[in-house]
Amino acid sequence: MARLIEEFAKMPGIGVRSAERIAFHILQARKDDVESFARVLREVKEKVSFCKRCNNLSERELCHICSDPSRDRSKICVVEGPNGVIAMEKCGLYRGMYHVLLGEISPIDGVGPDQLKIRELLQRVYKEKIGEVVIATDFTTEGETTALYLFELLKPMKVKVSRLFIR
């Protein structure tokens, strides 16, 4: 039990008190439910990883968007996480490609540009001859910091850069 609590407490945003609550919840849950939960955990780790090109979640080397020939390959929309891709796709108006940074610049949490997939973005803009980059990071301090940083980096490149808020 102590080990289970310890494991949950390692998760982001979960303190010891919450970890204890989750552990006791599992202890009281039906055996079938717990087994199905364990199976999902194992499966997600085995099957799902990140797209080699855009870092979106994918069960294959390239995600469904990168491997879709009908998408506009001259545009890249930059988002912080795979949920940003989902939000943009829900709008249904965007037909370009994506680049998932897998995080946002946050000095308080010790996350700098080097920990994000920013170098990969610049390489793609250059190699894939991208004409337009749409920055759709969150409208939070961290999202804004990340957007400004990207604006500065992309400025010298021959690419149109715009800012977009998803909501």
Residue 62: which of 49, 74, 72 has the closest Cα? 49
Paired tokens of 14: 């979960």
In the complex with Zn ion, which residue's Cβ is closer, 99 or 142?
A: 99
- If we measure between CA atoms, which residue out of 142, 145, 53 comes closest to residue 100? 53
Question: Which CB atom, from 39 or from 129, has the smaller least distance to Zn ion?
Answer: 129
Nearer to Zn ion, 54 or 78 (CB): 54
Q: In whole angstroms, how close is the CB of 157 to Zn ion at the nearest point?
A: 21
- CA-angle at 38, arms to 100 and 2, nearest 5°: 100
Question: 160-163 and 132-135: which strand pairing?
Answer: parallel
Least distance to Zn ion, CB of residue 82, Å: 10
- Closest CB 120 distance from Zn ion, rounded Å: 11
Of 19 and 54, which CB lies nearer to Zn ion in the complex structure?
54
Residues in contact with Zn ion by the rule CB under 5 A: 51, 53-54, 56, 63, 66
For residue 25, the minimal CB distance to Zn ion (Å) is 35
Distance separating alpha carbons of residues 97 and 55, to the nearest angstrom: 11
3 with 23: CB under 8 angstroms?
Answer: no
